[in-house]
A and B are shown apart, each in its own frame.
Chain A
Amino acid sequence: MTTKDDSIGSSRVTWEGCSVLLDINDGERLVFARLSPNAQLKIGKKNCSLKPLIDCPFGSVFRVDNGKDGPYLSLVVHTEEVEEGGNSIQEKEDHVTTHESKDNRAIVDNNSAQNLTGEDIEEMRRQGATGDQIIEALIAHSATFEKKTSFSQEKYRLRKQKKYAPEVLVRRPFVRRILKSIKLDNLMSDNYMRCDSLSLLLSMANITAYSDVLVVDMVGGLITGAVAERLGGTGYVCNMHLGATPYPVDIVRIFNFSNDVCERIVHCALDDLCPGQNGSCEQVQKMVSDSTNELDHMEDVPAEENTTSADVPCTTASDHEVRKSIKAGGKASEELIKSWKESGFSSLIVAAPDMDVWSIMQKLHPLLSYSASFAIYHQYLQPLADCMHNLQIGKMAIGLQISEPWLQEYQYFSFLGVVDLNILLWLSFLISISSYDWYFRRTHLSMQMSAFGGYILSGTKISASESKVQ
């Protein structure tokens, strides 16, 4: 397949064996999947084949429909929706300006308002009704729908749509989206890194094509993957482990990296680059092979098992095509290690939440080229302050700066204008009108996003050979 050898970002269409991020019901759930004719995804209580998702443009929306042979994913044709969407926006605005008199005081929200029973719905399903048809029927049989404000109507429709016709949006797994889903999956919740923090690390370390980037990635491969994405199959990203065992980089598998890119992701032990530090080489070798086996195992999990726990990154490597691909994160070759010893790395990123950054920096500093940029992430300020001070005193680096990123999301509403989401949350308490709350679901996600972003120490290594100059 030619697509796989293209550089990432070039293909706008999915292919068999490609990894995708599936956004179910507009952020309700995010799932990673590897597309294959046999791969399945559990949505609600149903298992759907992911086959229809192969060869579709990224950004396509699918809806779960009921066929003769059970539920299947069908492509949503957006052309009409654009019109509809346009109209409904218009309606909403009209509603705001004319101060519609409907409110929810007359509505008793119990099940008796709905005349359609669960059996009725099942029967419709058996007869092959689409999700849309079920929703229309629910609305037609709702005693209260007409009395609702148009906001509530929309909310009702949306709720039913999610239940009876869930939508699946197909996304390219770029690092930003991967970050978002990791957070939702509660993977490594302590080490979770915010998108703006990661973006700063990549800039401050001057990650660019043809760089040889040294990383100490103790956050599951997030840094390694993000760097590899920026290198696009040039240069190298070397994940260095200080002890005997390489750090896991499982997250790297979620990216759609081509073989060209995977080859550029390697690991090595500190011992390999500066012999005579700690730990013996033989020990390192042994641990390396152990952990490689572990990763192998992860890829071999059968598809069925994956679909039941689809919220964690899953790889349904059922066909040989996928298996043949080069595995990212192999051990750095002797030649590479030799070349790095001689010419040094061009950039360094450290994200090692439980390590003393100064002692790491002492060891890694000699491995960097002169004028190399580095960036160190930490959730606490003090270790970075100590490290910065020591670098200054030791005349090891200049341009030293500790930064704390700050991110705020604003949401646009046609009736309120742009609103700071924090204020919006307050409004929701003050107004406490249920009609507003479907907007707030997003708010909650975003609130999480503005949570603490950590600190970054950045700087540039200087050459120590100054004395001769005088």
Chain B
Amino acid sequence: MIATDPSEKLSLYRRIREGDLVIVYERHDSMKAVKVAEGSVLQNRFGVFKHSDWIGKPFGSKVFSNKNGFVYLLAPTPELWTLVLSHRTQILYIADISFVIMYLEIVPGCIVLESGTGSGSLTTSLARAVAPTGHVYTFDFHEQRAVSARVDFEKTGLSRLVTVGVRDIQGEGFPDEFIGRVDSVFLDLPQPWLAIPSAGKMLKPDGALCSFSPCIEQVQRSCETLKTKFTDIRTFEVLLRTYEVKEVRETSCQGDEGGSFKSPPRKKRQHSTEKGNVVEASGPGKIMAKPCGEARGHTGYLTFARLKCLPLKDNQVCSLRSA
């Protein structure tokens, strides 16, 4: 999913190969991650798809089943992965994820700590942001979840960028080996305030922390704890509203096309370049947009803070430099 050298990047030459992970796209709300294997088939409501038909085609191809049903095969991205992963916990979605990565200033080469791992939705995007030279260390106290997450990161090819540890971060804090080495910490824990003191120890001076909590009471307690060692404490909520687009044919006032109002939105349309073509019964419709009904509601609050910066001695300056 994430190139670790230039030859792996997406290109017009790249063809689907044995062992590739592809996202099978039926519709925007119906997708699935599949590992391509020569002898395998994919069976769904559109029929049976042979993997062997896929190999050698470019990503983004439309492929057909025995019943002439079709799906698209997409190259995996962290955004698509978030939509197809198996939900073992509540997960973070693109709006929160994007904001977290920008606000924590996570760039290639950063060392990031995360807890809990959950279903690894955020972890996948963190890995993309620190690649190719950084690393994400993510911890969950739930053994089985950690194991499943490792399996997923193997599948998505992120194992080189992500290490999953099993640890009670609220009880024990992050491991001592990370003290003073970490650029950013992300917490998605039920009682984040218990992990904040440890997070403070792990961060480099001026390092950034984010805590995600669904309830405002959790935010309050976190802020109380943050005040001692952190500064720039700010809390946000990020939401996305999506729009649906339709071509609508309206009846004009003078209109003698009384029937057109009843007709459904048209699928086909003459291209405007083909001028002079007025064969169509009722000229082109208007493209209109309206907000989708099922807007994703409240997910949680994102609280950000920055470790206060103490003046350094000269030797410390040097060590930070080379870090």
A-side interface residues toward B, CB under 8 Å?
3, 7-13, 55-61, 75, 77-79, 82, 85-86, 89, 172, 174-176, 195-196, 198-200, 202-204, 206, 208-212, 229-235, 342-344, 346, 369-373, 381-382, 384-386, 388-389, 392-393, 398-412, 414, 417-418, 455, 460-463, 465-466, 469-470
Given A57-B205, A210-B132, A405-B238; A371-B10 close (CB under 8 Å): yes
Tell me the minimal C-beta distance from A469 to chain B in angstroms.
Answer: 6
- Does B45 make an interface contact (CB < 8 A)? no
Q: Give chain A residues whose Cβ lies under 8 Å from the Cβ of B236.
A: 407-410
A469 engages B63 (CB within 8 Å) = yes
Q: Supply 20 further A-B pairs (C-beta < 8 A) apart from A57-B206, A412-B233.
A: A56-B317, A85-B227, A196-B98, A200-B98, A208-B3, A232-B109, A234-B6, A343-B12, A344-B12, A385-B288, A393-B269, A403-B242, A407-B239, A408-B236, A408-B237, A408-B238, A411-B235, A460-B60, A462-B60, A466-B70
A78 engages B235 (CB within 8 Å) = no
Q: Give chain A residues whose Cβ lies under 8 Å from the Cβ of B132.
A: 209-210, 232, 234
B-side interface residues toward A, CB under 8 Å?
2-6, 8-14, 25, 28, 53, 57-64, 68, 70, 72, 74-75, 77-80, 94-95, 97-99, 101-103, 105, 107-110, 125, 128-129, 131-133, 183, 204-206, 216, 219-220, 223-224, 227-229, 233-243, 245, 247, 267-269, 287-289, 291, 301, 306-312, 317, 320-321, 323
Tell me the minimal C-beta distance from B193 to chain A in angstroms.
Answer: 13
Given A203-B79, A409-B236; A86-B12 close (CB under 8 Å): no
Tell me the minimal C-beta distance from A333 to chain B in angstroms.
Answer: 16
Q: Give chain A residues whose Cβ lies under 8 Å from the Cβ of B241.
A: 403-404, 406
In the assembly, what is the distance between CA of A358 and CA of B240, in Å? 23
Top 3 closest A-B pairs, CB basis? A232-B108, A59-B206, A59-B309
In the assembly, what is the distance between CA of A416 and CA of B296, in Å? 28
Q: Give chain B residues whose Cβ lies under 8 Å from the Cβ of A208.
A: 2-3, 128-129, 131
The residue of chain A having its C-beta at the shortest distance from the C-beta of B308 within the complex is: A78
Tell me the minimal C-beta distance from B244 to chain A in angstroms.
Answer: 8
The residue of chain B having its C-beta at the shortest distance from the C-beta of A470 within the complex is: B64
B11 engages A404 (CB within 8 Å) = no
A-B residue pair count with CB separations less than 8 angstroms: 289
A233 engages B108 (CB within 8 Å) = yes
A463 engages B108 (CB within 8 Å) = no
Q: Give chain A residues whose Cβ lies under 8 Å from the Cβ of B247.
A: 389
The residue of chain A having its C-beta at the shortest distance from the C-beta of B236 within the complex is: A409
Given A372-B10, A410-B219, A418-B235; A204-B308 close (CB under 8 Å): no
The residue of chain A having its C-beta at the shortest distance from the C-beta of B205 within the complex is: A57
A10 engages B243 (CB within 8 Å) = no
Given A12-B320, A176-B105, A460-B60; A410-B10 close (CB under 8 Å): no
Tell me the minimal C-beta distance from B108 to chain A in angstroms.
Answer: 3
In the assembly, what is the distance between CA of A231 and CA of B2, in Å? 12
- Sample (13) of A-B pairs whose CB atoms are under 8 Å apart: A7-B107, A10-B323, A11-B320, A195-B102, A234-B108, A370-B58, A385-B289, A403-B242, A407-B236, A410-B219, A417-B216, A418-B301, A469-B61
Given A199-B102, A385-B245; A466-B219 close (CB under 8 Å): no
